[in-house]
Structures are given as structure tokens and as C-alpha cells.
């Protein structure tokens, strides 16, 4: 990854330092249960135990790790859905969107209405969305369903629309959680190509979480491997992937 | 607090759009469409007026208008409280996928409830004309009363929204409390006449629904001066509840996604 812009000064898009996320405290409870357990020690689960890394502007970071290692938690923390319990996340003023299976749709509303609402939550104005509405609908390619409530969608259509919204409304940083395999074969290759096009933009910073090592290998400049909330290693695909594959075999 | 106003400005357009879309979706598939927004409160008024006016022989002056005004205020209050308890849970998809200040959800919801309340108040106005209720300049007092009603409901709503995330029983508790408040707020009877003495005195002041409903009727129907002292007290209480609610939510909102 150093090859690309050796001379240009590095511009950092994301800085994560000593990130800790703990699940605790606000536990679901009922009055009866809280009475019984009053004074009990609160259970804690540390999902992330001090992760630090930086991503340069325009780079693509892949995150790998077995199920439950804290990958999705980390993306959600970076997207601002969780606040870190310890440590800091600095986005250096960039806009960010998290693309995971199904963005925040209101299922009672039509797909079209959801394009506007999701877009506005991502920080775009109504006018900006309006100018891109057609492109989104075209890319999502779900026909007349765009005017129907989202609850009537198949899971494939749901993901297609979600992907289209984030892909066409381009934010500076895109976080992608396991969605490159949405839809049928045609949409898959279409979204893969769109992904590549977005990624080739020098300004766009991307973090991808995936279990598909081929995707990771083909798209990412750098790879971060985490296990049980801890950083195992970070480096190029050639360095990390063989060790990761070996590790996964031992499980 | 500054953050709150900043966020309200920032997300105002989203909240309005979301409220509009929600209202549209509510009636989209029904046969009578938006007419339901008028039919529903009107029918409730007819039922109450018939049962309590005819069956229980309530001889309150302008009873139909009396019921309609009371119902408009009550339904707003009730919707705000029941709506907020499960608001975060009902928006799970949104809350776990994108950051939005959580009170924006309540704010957006409240716009739909306000819309419905204004329809009910419009109907009440129609009924008042129909029943030849003498109109007076006191009607302007309805504006501060409605603002206080909003403030108090919003404040209580914020707190219910927060505790509703972790406390499973809160929805049940709220339902019971609301049922009690409903019968003690005088939607279909006049507390001044039916509950004399200390009990009536306190209910009319300490139950915000009863107090504000009564003030609203005084402004719209009875051409009476409002109780400024208690209006001021409830403004302060509403502001305190809202400030507390905002504080609690700012402190905890990032953890909601972990729980639900």
C-alpha cells in the first residue's frame, strides 16, 4: 500500500486508538428480576479490548476474524452507533455510512420514502437525494416494488436497496459489513463492480468486514485480523491471510 | 441543552419527513384513507356523549364540545406516553444501523400526534359552532395551554422512552397508570362538579392531563381566565422533566443499540 503514494504526505481518514467496548449495565430486566438481583455484580462482556489502528484516506482496510471476535461491534463503534467505553475514534471530519445487511429502514414505508429517510440520516439534504433518487432506483433494480412498503420485500430486494442507497449516496468513509454477497448472481457482480469503482476513488476510505477471503484479498490494501476483541496482526494480504487460514484450521 | 437544540435543527427536516411518511403509511391501505383521522375521534366523541350524556344523564352545558375538547387533549397525552415506552424497541432496525439522536424519534412521533390532535381540535371547533358556544377572546389562552401540554408530555415521554429500553414491565405499568389517569382526568365528566372538596382540588392540579384539559376547556368553551399560577408551575415541571430526559438520553443513548 505504500507504493501508491510514496511521495504525497499521508492523510489519515480514521484513527482508532485503544478502543474498548464493553457490553454491560443496561441489561434487559423486569422489576421482579431486578429486585432479586439487587446489588449483584453487573455482568460485563468485553467485545473489544484495546484495538488501535489508522486508515489512510483512500485506502481499503479489510477486517477478518472468526464469528464473535468483535468485527461488527467495531464497525458500529466507528459508525457512532455505540460510544466507546475507553479509547478514541477520530474520523477527521469525514462523513460516514455503515452498510450492513439492511440499513435502517422503516418497514411500513415505501422503498422510495426510505431512500429519503436513510439518506437524510446519513447527512444528505433532500435536494441532494432528489438528484440521485433515479440513480438509486435504477441501481437497486427492484422494479415496481420501490413504491411498495419495505415489509413486502424479499430479503434480497431489501439488501439490494440498502446497497444502492449507500453506494450511490457516496460518503467519505464507507463501512461494509458482509454485504458483498447480496442478491442474485447478476446483482452480486454488479455490486462487486460498483464496489470496485467506489473503492478506486482516491478520496474514499473503506473498511470491509467479510468472511470471504477472496473478496478481502482482491479489494483490500491492508488487513486487520482480530480475535476475541484483540488485535492479532495487521499487514498486507500476503502476510496476514496465510497465517489466518492456518489459524482457522486449528479451530 | 445546546446540543439538543442543535440536533433538533439539524434533524428537523428528517423528523418532519418521517412524520409525514408515517401518517401516509397509516392510512395507505385502508378504504376510507385519510377520512379515518376525522371519523375516529368523531365516533369516540359520539360514543362518550351518548353513554355519559344520555345513559348517565350528564347535563353538562355543550356536552359534545366538552367531550371533544377533552378527548383531543387526552389522546395527545396518552399517545405520547404509550408511544414512547417502546419507541426504541420499535425502531430497532434504525437504532442498530445508524446514529440518530434518540429524542428525534420521539420528536418525529410527536408531530404525528400533534397533527391528529389538531384535527380533533378542528372538529371540536366545528361542534362549538354547531352548538352555538359563545366565542370569546379567551380562546387565545388555548395556545399556551397546548404548548405546556406538549412540554409536559414530551418530558414524561423522554423518561419513559429511556426506561422502556431496559425495563420490560414499563409498558404494562404505563397502561395501568394511563387507565387511572384517564378516568381521573374528566374526559367525559366535569371534575369541578363531580369531585368536590380536597380530592377534586388536588386532581385538578396534580394530574397534568386533568389540569390542562380543564384549562383548555376554560379557554375554548367557558370564556374563563386561566389559572396562571398552576400553568406556570406545570411549565416549570415540564421544562425540568424535559431537561432531565435529555440528560438521561444523552448519557445513555449510545448503549441502547447494545441492549436491544
Asked if A122 and B98 come within 8 Å (Cβ–Cβ), the reply is: yes
Q: What is the pLDDT of residues B122-148, one digit of tens each?
A: 999 999 999 999 999 999 999 999 999
Residue ranges in chain A assigned as alpha helix (H): 31-36, 71-78, 111-121, 126-140, 155-168, 185-200, 213-219, 237-250
Query: How many residue contacts between A and B have a Cβ separation below 8 Å?
Result: 98
Question: What integer pLDDT is reported at residue A36 of this predicted model?
Answer: 58
Q: How confident is the model at residue A136 (pLDDT cuts 50, 70, 90)?
A: very high
Query: Which CATH number does the domain housing residue A21 bear?
Result: 3.40.50.300
Of the listed ranges A233-242, B36-45, B100-109, B206-215, the least confidently predicted one is: A233-242
Mean pLDDT within A54-59: 88
Answer yes or no: do A103 and A154 share one domain: yes
Beta strands A86-90 and A12-23, pairing class: antiparallel
Which chain A residue shows the shortest CA-CA distance from B173?
A31
Which chain B residue shows the shortest CA-CA distance from A29?
B167
The verdict on residue A200 lying in a domain is no
Q: What is the pLDDT of residues B44-82, one digit of tens each?
A: 999 999 999 888 888 888 999 999 999 999 999 999 999
pLDDT > 70? residue A41: no
Could you give the strand order of the β-sheet that contains A173-177, starting from the edge strand earlier in sequence? A96-99, A173-177, A205-209, A60-64, A222-227, A230-235
The verdict on residue A41 lying in a domain is no
Mean pLDDT within B161-177: 91
Answer yes or no: do A240 and A162 share one domain: no
Asked if A82 and B254 come within 8 Å (Cβ–Cβ), the reply is: yes
Q: How confident is the model at residue B235 (pLDDT cuts 50, 70, 90)?
A: very high
The verdict on residue A187 lying in a domain is no
User: B68 in helix, strand or coil?
Assistant: helix
Asked if B21 and A104 come within 8 Å (Cβ–Cβ), the reply is: no
Nearest to B167 among A29, A81, A108 (CB): A29
Answer yes or no: do A76 and A9 share one domain: yes
Question: What integer pLDDT is reported at residue A186 of this predicted model?
Answer: 82
Answer yes or no: do A21 and A88 share one domain: yes
User: B205 in helix, strand or coil?
Assistant: helix
Nearest to B98 among A23, A83, A98 (CB): A98
| Contacting B residues, span 43-82, partner chain A, CB-CB under 8 Å | none
Question: What integer pLDDT is reported at residue A103 of this predicted model?
Answer: 62
Contacts of B100 in chain A (CB under 8 A): 104, 121
Q: How confident is the model at residue A5 (pLDDT cuts 50, 70, 90)?
A: very low
Q: What is the pLDDT of residues B82-94, one digit of tens each?
A: 999 999 988 888 8
Mean pLDDT within B238-254: 93
Structural domain boundaries, residue B90: 2-259
Q: What is the pLDDT of residues A118-129, one digit of tens each?
A: 889 888 899 999
Contacts of A100 in chain B (CB under 8 A): 97
pLDDT > 60? residue A40: no
Mean pLDDT within B180-187: 92
The verdict on residue A140 lying in a domain is yes
Rounded Cα distance between B40 and B244, Å, is 35
Contacts of B25 in chain A (CB under 8 A): 108-110, 113, 149
Mean pLDDT within A75-102: 81
Residue with grid cell 366538552, as numbered in its chain:
B66
Question: What integer pLDDT is reported at residue A31 of this predicted model?
Answer: 65
Burial A145-177 (b: 16+ CB within 10 A, else e): bbebbbeebeeebbbbbbbbbbbbbbbbbbbbb
Mean pLDDT for all residues in chain A: 82
Nearest to A121 among B14, B165, B166 (CB): B14
Question: What integer pLDDT is reported at residue B211 of this predicted model?
Answer: 96
Question: What integer pLDDT is reported at residue A4 of this predicted model?
Answer: 46
Rounded Cα distance between B46 and B34, Å, is 19
The verdict on residue A193 lying in a domain is no
Beta strands A222-227 and A60-64, pairing class: parallel
Q: What is the pLDDT of residues B206-220, one digit of tens each?
A: 999 999 999 999 999
Asked if B21 and A100 come within 8 Å (Cβ–Cβ), the reply is: no
Beta strands A205-209 and A173-177, pairing class: parallel
Q: Is B232 on the interface with A (CB under 8 A)?
A: no
Angle between helix A155-168 and A111-121 (nearest 10): 40
- Quote the DSSP letter at residue B222: S
Neighbour count for residue B135 (Cβ, 10 Å) = 13
Domain count, chain A: 2
Q: Is B177 on the interface with A (CB under 8 A)?
A: no
Q: How confident is the model at residue A28 (pLDDT cuts 50, 70, 90)?
A: low
Nearest to B99 among A27, A34, A80 (CB): A80
The verdict on residue A124 lying in a domain is yes
Domain count, chain B: 1
Answer yes or no: do A81 and A4 share one domain: yes
Q: How confident is the model at residue A200 (pLDDT cuts 50, 70, 90)?
A: confident
Asked if A106 and B22 come within 8 Å (Cβ–Cβ), the reply is: yes
The verdict on residue A188 lying in a domain is no
Which chain B residue shows the shortest CA-CA distance from A22?
B258
Question: What integer pLDDT is reported at residue A100 of this predicted model?
Answer: 64
Q: What is the pLDDT of residues A138-180, one digit of tens each?
A: 988 888 999 998 889 887 888 888 888 888 887 888 888 876 5
Q: How confident is the model at residue A80 (pLDDT cuts 50, 70, 90)?
A: confident
pLDDT > 80? residue B188: yes
The verdict on residue A11 lying in a domain is yes
Question: What integer pLDDT is reported at residue A29 of this predicted model?
Answer: 63
Rounded Cα distance between B214 and B227, Å, is 10
pLDDT > 90? residue B255: no
Nearest to A120 among B13, B25, B91 (CB): B13
CA distance A111 to chain B (A): 11
pLDDT > 60? residue A26: no
pLDDT > 80? residue A33: no
Mean pLDDT within B170-175: 92
pTM for the model stands at: 0.87
CA distance B33 to chain A (A): 15
Final residue of a structural domain among A171, A197, A229: A171
Question: What integer pLDDT is reported at residue A46 of this predicted model?
Answer: 82
Rounded Cα distance between A228 and A47, Å, is 7
pLDDT > 80? residue B155: yes
Structural domain boundaries, residue A251: 1-25+51-94+205-251
Question: What integer pLDDT is reported at residue A93 of this predicted model?
Answer: 83
pLDDT above 70 covers a percentage of chain A that reads: 84
Nearest to B97 among A28, A100, A110 (CB): A100
Which chain A residue shows the shortest CA-CA distance from B18?
A117
Asked if B100 and A116 come within 8 Å (Cβ–Cβ), the reply is: no
Q: Is B161 on the interface with A (CB under 8 A)?
A: no
Question: What integer pLDDT is reported at residue A25 of this predicted model?
Answer: 55
Answer yes or no: do A121 and A165 share one domain: yes
Amino acid at each position: 500500500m505504500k507504493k501508491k503514494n510514496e511521495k504525497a504526505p499521508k492523510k489519515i481518514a480514521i484513527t482508532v486508538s485503544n478502543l474498548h467496548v464493553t457490553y454491560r449495565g443496561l441489561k434487559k430486566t423486569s422489576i421482579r428480576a431486578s429486585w432479586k438481583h439487587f446489588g449483584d455484580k453487573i455482568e460485563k462482556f468485553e467485545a473489544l479490548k484495546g484495538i488501535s489502528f489508522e486508515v489512510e484516506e483512500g485506502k481499503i482496510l479489510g477486517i477478518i476474524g472468526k464469528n464473535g471476535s468483535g468485527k461488527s461491534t467495531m464497525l458500529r463503534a466507528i459508525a457512532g452507533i455505540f460510544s466507546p467505553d475507553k479509547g478514541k475514534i477520530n474520523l477527521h471530519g469525514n462523513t460516514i455510512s455503515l452498510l450492513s445487511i439492511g440499513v435502517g429502514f422503516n418497514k411500513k414505508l415505501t422503498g422510495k420514502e426510505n431512500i429519503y429517510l436513510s439518506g437524510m440520516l446519513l447527512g444528505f439534504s433532500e435536494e441532494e437525494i432528489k438528484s440521485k433518487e433515479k440513480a438509486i432506483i435504477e441501481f437497486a433494480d427492484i422494479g415496481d416494488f420501490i413504491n411498495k412498503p419495505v415489509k413486502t420485500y424479499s430479503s434480497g430486494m431489501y439488501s439490494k436497496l440498502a446497497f444502492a442507497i449507500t453506494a450511490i449516496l457516496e460518503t467519505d468513509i464507507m463501512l461494509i459489513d458482509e454485504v458483498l454477497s447480496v442478491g442474485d448472481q447478476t446483482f452480486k457482480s454488479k455490486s462487486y463492480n460498483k464496489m470496485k469503482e467506489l473503492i478506486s476513488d482516491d478520496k474514499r476510505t473503506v473498511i470491509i468486514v467479510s468472511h470471504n477471503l477472496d473478496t478481502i484479498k482482491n479489494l483490500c490494501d491492508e488487513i486487520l485480523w482480530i480475535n476475541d476483541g484483540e488485535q492479532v496482526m495487521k499487514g498486507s494480504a500476503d502476510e496476514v491471510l496465510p497465517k489466518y487460514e492456518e489459524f482457522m484450521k486449528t479451530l | 441543552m445546546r446540543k439538543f437544540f442543535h440536533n433538533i435543527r439539524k434533524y428537523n427536516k428528517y423528523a418532519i419527513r418521517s412524520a409525514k411518511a408515517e401518517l401516509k403509511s397509516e392510512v395507505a391501505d385502508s378504504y376510507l384513507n385519510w377520512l379515518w383521522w376525522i371519523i375516529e375521534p368523531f365516533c369516540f366523541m359520539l360514543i362518550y356523549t351518548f353513554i355519559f350524556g344520555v345513559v348517565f344523564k350528564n347535563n353538562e352545558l355543550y356536552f359534545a364540545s366538552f367531550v371533544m375538547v377533552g378527548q383531543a387533549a387526552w389522546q395527545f397525552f396518552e399517545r405520547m406516553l404509550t408511544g414512547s415506552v417502546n419507541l426504541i424497541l420499535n425502531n430497532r432496525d434504525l437504532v442498530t444501523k445508524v446514529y440518530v439522536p434518540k429524542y428525534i424519534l420521539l420528536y418525529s412521533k410527536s408531530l404525528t400526534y400533534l397533527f391528529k390532535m389538531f384535527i380533533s381540535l378542528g372538529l371540536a371547533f366545528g361542534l362549538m359552532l354547531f352548538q352555538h358556544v359563545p366565542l370569546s377572546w379567551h380562546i387565545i389562552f388555548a395556545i399556551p395551554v397546548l404548548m405546556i401540554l406538549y412540554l409536559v408530555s414530551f418530558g414524561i415521554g423522554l423518561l419513559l422512552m429511556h426506561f422502556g429500553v431496559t425495563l420490560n414491565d414499563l409498558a404494562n405499568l404505563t397502561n395501568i397508570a394511563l387507565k387511572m389517569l384517564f378516568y381521573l382526568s374528566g374526559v367525559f365528566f366535569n371534575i369541578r362538579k363531580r369531585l368536590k372538596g380536597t380530592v377534586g382540588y388536588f386532581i385538578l392540579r396534580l394530574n397534568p392531563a386533568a389540569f390542562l384539559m380543564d384549562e383548555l376547556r376554560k379557554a375554548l368553551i367557558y370564556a374563563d381566565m386561566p389559572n396562571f399560577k398552576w400553568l406556570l408551575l406545570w411549565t416549570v415541571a415540564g421544562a425540568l422533566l424535559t431537561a432531565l430526559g435529555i440528560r438521561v438520553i444523552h448519557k445513555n443513548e449510545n448503549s441502547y443499540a447494545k441492549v436491544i
